[in-house]
Structure 1
């Protein structure tokens, strides 16, 4: 497993909020899916409300 840093933004009441999170995943696609699931459950968002800008492996 590798560690990925995912950056992007999501819709909030005041417009868009930026985020950066670290995810342990097998590959870049799995890191993207975990990020969608994590932000969706924490903030009650749908995938269309989340914009992933960059996924970097560390």
Structure 2
């Protein structure tokens, strides 16, 4: 599995907040899914409140 850097923004109480996170996944699509699941779980967000701007290996 490779390590991917996922960047984007999520909707916080005071507007949109940017983020950058490292995810270990077999491919870019799985890295995106793990990021959405992680932010949804940790911050109580729906997928529509998270915008992924890029996934880099």
Band the TM-score falls in, shorter-chain normalisation: over 0.9
Please provide the CA RMSD for this pair. Answer: 0.3
Confirm whether residue 21 of structure 1 aligns to residue 21 of structure 2: yes
TM-score w.r.t. the length of structure 2 is 0.99
> What stretches of structure 1 move > 4 A for 4+ residues in a row?
none
Aligned-pair CA distance for 1:8: 0.2
C-alpha distance in 1 between matches for 2:14 and 2:22 = 25
- Which consecutive residues of structure 2, in runs of 5 or more, have no partner in the other structure? none
- Which consecutive residues of structure 1, in runs of 5 or more, have no partner in the other structure? none
C-alpha distance in 2 between matches for 1:53 and 1:23 = 15
